[in-house]
């Protein structure tokens, strides 16, 4: 067990290194001096040269990478070209918002998805099943921006129930979180339903019923834990897609988060900022996967043994 | 698997089962069964067909141009002349939708196909050869999958710049990793099958085993994966274009149209809603078709 | 005669499929006297599993009991509301399933699975339930009983798992134990151990209803045997009589397909043909399609289950009249 975790940790560190390298290479193979590109055609050549030196861009690539890496380990991601502030400080501010948004979205998606999935599986082919599965189809097929704009249009613009955009207390996160979680809720509920229906056919469910368990007991003590195994895997994948979706949601609802920073960085051709945000989101995904792995091995004793 | 068969037997359907064991179903038998049992899949196939036809015949279906502006007719609501209204440049939305379907179709199919070929090739190689090759390929896949797909796409688009072909390339590079993982595990599963072992035992070369036994048996999985990956490519493209990083004006893409319309959300909501709904419909159709195909082609993959 | 602990009366159960009603169990009567082992034998799909599942109230959709009763120690249980059925299940009547590999919950420790019935029916505190479980594990011959309680199913061998299953079923000391092919999934040596165990349980006073398609198992274990074919009982007798003087052509066919092996003949005696489609049962005797001596009336009229003496009953027009085996 312990060995397994250490192995996974090392793997995660390796992946993170690979990611850092990949980001670095991708951002550097763009031809031309990024400072010059950013400052436009009419910039003073002397200023460009000064700034190039200032950001260390005149050094060989390997030195740049080493500096960047050692900085990142210490929490220093360099200075943003376009905003002139340390990337770490910019991200610290944005991270709280993204975390709040993603956390609320995950909470919404998973609680709603799992509940609806269970109800649909238990009442298979019933009215609620059809309703939930219809809704979940809308969930998996509606693009994030569509959900976001619809919610914004109906609940903020027309009904004035919630703020249209910006960050002003927790209530300004409600619509973005629903928009962001909508997709995930759909796929989780479909997965929970299909897994649970399959598991309710398993022999050990008969055993549980033969022991005198009522339906609730069968469900809670025997079916759910088994059904959660693939769901945990899916949740791990969804951390990644939630962060992807956060880019869109944050843009639509003008939330100052990591995603919006990334978009800003691209539009401003701001390499340190882009590097920082990409590395940071990837780190979250990798840590999330690590946690999901641990949770999985807690839930499934068969994995524990194989370690 | 055996448990299920036993249950069927107990259900008194053994007779029906026996009559089926006699002959293996061909691909077309399966499709016929799909058409018979899954009306939703048939409906989806029709929607997809219409979508393809619209893309092919776009210039013949509309009298307007998709990029010429008509500034006298800006933001006009749906009417007889402009069935879906016009946008901020006075361009007919229906026309742009039709031309946009070309982009969406291309974006849906091309990168999915490219990513799939790349992913399947690497996945099979990793699964069949194993060892160091496997480790290297899978670590690269790990790294690719470590990124939130949107951010990876954004990074690649940053490097390559906007435009249709770059979007295709980007999405292929985003797509391959998950395909390679699934195909690899499928290949490993097949490798352990008795008929492959038997082939190896009589001295058939690895390369031949790969082509004759592993690849054809991965095909059902690949077909299903393809159908299910098309909508995700379409969604990623629309998101990229929505952020202004994908297709560039004056080309028409549904995601781009949503983005352009967003500024007018409160005065002309149809600008964004129409392309959004179209994306949803096509994605839904591909999802239905994919689910249906998976049920008939690849029952053991249900939970992936 | 001892009183019957379990008495199934005219039980019928069907699957309601899109193609129509599949009559899987048809007017079946079975008696399990106190402290005896009763067997049901038949091919797969003949309705034996379904019969006992119906008694337990464990029929799966789209299966449903159509008619009949099941009396457990003087109480009719089929008509009970679900809540009361749950109270009886696992307490007064328990079941051991066919495949110990899939019948244990893979993610729950076996100790917890075994004690669950005690917690449900006796409301027993955990520590006490554990003690009971250890005792039961020892009784069914699981070595290192205490340690095994915290094992997961995948850590145990097939034989051990089936012992766990039996311990789980016996933990509340049920009046009736139903065993659905309890040894089919096991090795022959393990099978012998499990059969010995079941016999021991029975000598402790539990009545056992065992299902098997294996005549050897039935011969070793049972006091009384029912032969089922296409959803109906076709013959019933005490074990000795059934094996010595089988009257129904189907029973004879079953026996000769086994004994031809024992005789060492080079050709296996088989019963020609296949089990009829339960959707469209023949009007007459359901075995008529495969029977060598089938006549006009066999095809037209279903024979009754006739008593030919000493509780030996046969569902055949020629029983008692034709030559005996």
For the cut 80, the answer to whether the pLDDT of residue C226 exceeds it is yes
Using only C-alpha atoms, what is the Rg of chain B? 23
0.90 cut: is pTM over it?
no
Inter-chain touch C121–A212, beta carbons under 8 Å: yes
Inter-chain touch A244–B151, beta carbons under 8 Å: yes
Residue B292: its chain A contacts at CB < 8 A?
Answer: none
Q: Of all residues in chain A, what percent carry a pLDDT higher than 70? A: 93
List, as one string, the DSSP characters of B204-270: --HHHHIIIIIHHHHHHHHHHHHHHHHHHHHHHHHHHHHTTSSS-TTS--HHHHHHHHHTTTTT-TH
Helix (H) or strand (E) holding A108: helix A87-122
Q: Considering only A20-24, A303-307, B165-169, B241-245, which range has the smallest mean pLDDT?
A: A303-307
pLDDT tens digits along C39-59: 999 887 788 888 998 888 888
Chain B residue with Cα closest to A142:
B280
Q: How far is B295 from chain A (nearest CA, A)?
A: 12
Q: Which value does ipTM take for this structure?
A: 0.83
Contact A157, B266 (CB under 8 A): yes
For the cut 80, the answer to whether the pLDDT of residue B76 exceeds it is no
The Cβ of residue B50 has, within 10 Å, a number of other Cβ atoms equal to 14
Chain A residue with Cα closest to B230:
A141
Residue A230: its chain B contacts at CB < 8 A?
Answer: 303
pLDDT tens digits along A162-194: 887 777 778 888 889 999 999 899 989 988 998
pLDDT of residue B12: 35
Confidence label for A31 from pLDDT (cuts 50, 70 and 90): low
Q: How far is CA B61 from the centre of its chain?
A: 26
pLDDT of residue C1: 53
pLDDT tens digits along B124-153: 888 888 888 888 998 889 888 888 888 888
Q: How far is C69 from chain A (nearest CA, A)?
A: 19
Burial class (CB within 10 angstroms; exposed 0-12, middle 13-18, buried 19+) of A196: buried
Chain A residue with Cα closest to C169:
A211
Helix (H) or strand (E) holding C64: strand C63-72
Chain A residue with Cα closest to B231:
A141
Residue C117: its chain A contacts at CB < 8 A?
Answer: 211-212
Q: Considering only A59-63, B104-108, C55-59, C203-207, which range has the smallest mean pLDDT?
A: A59-63
The Cβ of residue A237 has, within 10 Å, a number of other Cβ atoms equal to 17
DSSP secondary structure code for residue C179 in this structure? E
The residue with greater pLDDT, A34 or B268, is: B268
Inter-chain touch B15–C275, beta carbons under 8 Å: yes
Inter-chain touch C44–B10, beta carbons under 8 Å: yes
The subunits that touch chain A, with at least 3 C-beta pairs less than 8 Å apart, are B, C
pLDDT of residue C142: 87
pLDDT of residue A79: 80
For the cut 70, the answer to whether the pLDDT of residue C2 exceeds it is no
Chain C residue with Cα closest to A211:
C90
Query: Which tokens in the block code for residue A41?
Result: 């055609």
pLDDT tens digits along C87-120: 999 889 999 988 888 899 988 999 999 999 898 8
What value does the mean pLDDT take over residues B220-249? 83
Q: Of all residues in chain B, what percent carry a pLDDT higher than 70? A: 81
Chain A residue with Cα closest to C94:
A210
- What CATH number does domain B50-64+87-303 carry, 3.40.228.10, 1.10.10.10, 3.40.630.30, 1.10.3720.10? 1.10.3720.10
pLDDT of residue B114: 93
Query: C25 and chain B: CB distance < 8 Å anywhere?
Result: no
State how far the Cα of C45 lies from the Cα of B14, in Å rounded to an integer: 7
Domains parsed from chain A with CATH numbers: 2-73 (no CATH), 87-306 (1.10.3720.10)
Domains parsed from chain C with CATH numbers: 4-83+215-321 (3.40.50.300)
Q: How far is C161 from chain B (nearest CA, A)?
A: 17
**How confident is the prediction for chain C on average, in pLDDT?**
85
**How confident is the prediction for chain B on average, in pLDDT?**
77
Q: Considering only A175-184, A203-212, A242-251, C286-295, which range has the smallest mean pLDDT?
A: C286-295
Q: Considering only A18-27, B216-225, C9-18, C207-216, which range has the smallest mean pLDDT?
A: B216-225
What value does the mean pLDDT take over residues B41-70? 78
pLDDT of residue C324: 42
Nearest to C98 by CA among C182, C17, C21: C182
What value does the mean pLDDT take over residues C121-146? 88
Inter-chain touch C87–A209, beta carbons under 8 Å: no
pLDDT tens digits along A119-153: 999 888 888 888 888 888 888 888 888 888 888 88
Confidence label for B1 from pLDDT (cuts 50, 70 and 90): very low
| A30, A38, A144, A145: best to mutate for the B interface, most B CBs within 10 A | A145
| A122, A123, A198, A210: best to mutate for the C interface, most C CBs within 10 A | A210
The residue with greater pLDDT, B22 or B228, is: B228
Confidence label for B115 from pLDDT (cuts 50, 70 and 90): very high
The Cβ of residue C119 has, within 10 Å, a number of other Cβ atoms equal to 15
The residue with greater pLDDT, B20 or B185, is: B185
The residue with greater pLDDT, B296 or B136, is: B136
Confidence label for A81 from pLDDT (cuts 50, 70 and 90): confident
pLDDT of residue C261: 61
pLDDT of residue A305: 56
pLDDT of residue B9: 35
Inter-chain touch B9–C277, beta carbons under 8 Å: no
pLDDT tens digits along B57-73: 877 777 676 666 666 66
* A181, B191, B286, C132 from A140: Cα distances, Å: 10, 34, 11, 50
Confidence label for B255 from pLDDT (cuts 50, 70 and 90): confident
Size of interface A-B (CB pairs under 8 A): 140
The residue with greater pLDDT, C39 or B227, is: C39
For the cut 60, the answer to whether the pLDDT of residue C214 exceeds it is yes
Give B202's contacts (C-beta < 8 A, 6+ positions apart).
none
């Amino acid at each position: 067990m312990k060995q397994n975790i250490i192995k996974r940790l090392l793997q995660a560190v390796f992946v993170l290194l690979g990611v850092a390298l990949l980001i670095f290479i991708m951002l550097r193979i763009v031809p031309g001096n990024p400072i010059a590109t950013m400052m436009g055609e009419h910039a003073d050549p002397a200023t460009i040269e000064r700034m190039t030196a200032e950001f260390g861009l005149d050094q060989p690539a390997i030195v740049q990478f080493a500096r960047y890496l050692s900085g990142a380990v210490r929490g220093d991601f360099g200075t943003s070209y376009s905003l002139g502030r340390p990337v770490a400080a910019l991200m610290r501010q944005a991270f709280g918002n993204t975390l709040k948004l993603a956390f609320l979205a995950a909470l919404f998606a998973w609680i709603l998805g799992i509940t609806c999935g269970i109800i649909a599986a238990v009442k298979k082919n019933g009215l609620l099943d059809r309703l939930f599965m219809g809704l979940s189809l809308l969930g998996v097929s509606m693009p994030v921006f569509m959900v976001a704009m619809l919610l914004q249009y109906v609940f903020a613009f027309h009904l004035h129930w919630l703020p249209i955009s910006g960050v002003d207390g927790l209530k300004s996160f409600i619509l973005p979180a629903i928009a962001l979680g909508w997709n995930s809720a759909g796929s989780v509920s479909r997965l929970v339903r299909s897994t649970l229906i399959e598991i309710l056919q398993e022999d050990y469910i008969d055993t549980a019923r033969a022991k005198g368990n009522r339906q609730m007991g069968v469900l809670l003590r025997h079916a759910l834990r088994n059904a959660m195994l693939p769901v945990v895997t899916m949740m791990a994948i969804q951390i990644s897609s939630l962060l992807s979706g956060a880019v869109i949601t944050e843009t639509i609802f003008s939330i100052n988060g990591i995603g919006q920073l990334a978009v800003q960085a691209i539009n401003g051709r701001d390499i340190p900022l882009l590097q920082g945000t990409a590395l940071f989101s990837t780190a979250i995904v990798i840590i999330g996967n690590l946690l999901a792995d641990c949770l999985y091995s807690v839930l499934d004793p068969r994995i524990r043994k194989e370690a | 698997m055996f448990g299920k068969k036993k249950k069927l037997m107990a259900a008194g359907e053994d007779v029906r089962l026996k009559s089926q064991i006699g002959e293996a179903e061909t691909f077309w038998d399966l499709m016929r069964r799909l058409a018979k049992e899954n009306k939703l899949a048939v409906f989806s196939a029709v929607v997809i067909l219409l979508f393809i036809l619209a893309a092919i015949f776009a210039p013949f279906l509309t009298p307007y141009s998709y990029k010429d502006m008509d500034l006298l007719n800006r933001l006009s609501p749906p009417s007889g002349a402009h069935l879906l209204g016009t946008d901020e440049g006075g361009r007919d939305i229906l026309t742009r939708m039709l031309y946009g379907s070309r982009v969406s179709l291309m974006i849906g199919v091309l990168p999915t196909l490219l990513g799939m070929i790349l992913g399947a090739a690497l996945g099979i190689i990793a699964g069949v050869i194993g060892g160091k090759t496997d480790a290297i390929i899978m670590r690269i896949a790990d790294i690719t999958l470590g990124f939130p797909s949107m951010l990876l796409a954004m990074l690649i688009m940053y490097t390559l710049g906007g435009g249709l072909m770059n979007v295709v390339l980007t999405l292929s590079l985003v797509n391959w990793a998950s395909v390679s993982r699934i195909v690899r595990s499928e290949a490993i599963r097949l490798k352990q099958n008795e008929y492959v072992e038997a082939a190896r035992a009589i001295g058939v070369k690895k390369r031949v085993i790969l082509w004759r036994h592993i690849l054809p048996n991965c095909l059902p999985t690949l077909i299903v994966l393809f159908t299910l990956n098309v909508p995700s490519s379409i969604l990623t493209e629309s998101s990229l274009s929505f952020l202004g990083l994908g297709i560039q004006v004056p080309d028409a893409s549904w995601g781009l149209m949503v983005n352009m319309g967003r500024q007018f959300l409160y005065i002309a909501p149809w600008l964004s809603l129409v392309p959004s709904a179209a994306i949803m419909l096509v994605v839904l159709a591909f999802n239905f078709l994919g689910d249906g195909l998976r049920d008939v082609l690849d029952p053991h993959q249900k939970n992936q | 005669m001892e009183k019957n602990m379990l008495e199934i009366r005219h039980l019928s159960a069907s699957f309601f499929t899109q193609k129509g009603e599949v009559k899987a169990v048809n007017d079946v009567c079975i008696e399990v006297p106190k402290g005896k082992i009763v067997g049901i034998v038949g091919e797969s799909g003949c309705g034996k599993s379904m019969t006992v599942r119906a008694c337990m109230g464990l029929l799966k959709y789209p299966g449903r009991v159509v008619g009949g009763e099941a009396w457990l120690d003087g109480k009719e249980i089929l008509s009970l509301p679900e809540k009361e059925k749950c109270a009886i299940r696992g307490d007064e009547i328990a079941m051991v399933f066919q495949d110990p590999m899939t019948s244990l919950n893979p993610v729950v420790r076996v100790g917890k699975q075994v004690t669950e019935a005690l917690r449900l029916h006796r409301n027993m505190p955990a520590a006490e339930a554990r003690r009971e479980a250890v005792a039961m594990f020892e009784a069914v011959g699981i070595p290192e009983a205490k340690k095994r309680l915290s094992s997961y199913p995948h850590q145990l061998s097939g034989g051990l798992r089936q012992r766990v299953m039996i311990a789980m079923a016996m933990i509340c000391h049920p009046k009736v134990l139903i065993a659905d092919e309890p040894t089919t999934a096991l090795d022959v040596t393990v099978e012998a151990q499990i059969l010995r165990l079941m016999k021991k349980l029975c000598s402790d006073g539990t009545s056992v209803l065992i299902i098997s398609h294996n005549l050897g198992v039935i011969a070793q274990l049972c006091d009384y045997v029912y032969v089922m074919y296409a959803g109906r009982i076709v013959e019933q007798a005490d074990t000795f009589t059934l094996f010595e003087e089988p009257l129904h052509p189907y029973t004879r066919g079953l026996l000769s397909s086994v004994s031809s092996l024992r005789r060492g003949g080079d050709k296996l005696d088989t019963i020609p043909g296949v089990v009829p489609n339960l959707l469209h049962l023949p009007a007459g005797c359901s075995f008529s399609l495969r029977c060598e001596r089938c006549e006009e009336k066999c095809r037209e009229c279903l024979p009754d289950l006739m008593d030919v003496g000493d509780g030996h009953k046969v569902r055949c027009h020629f029983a008692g009249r034709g030559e005996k085996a």
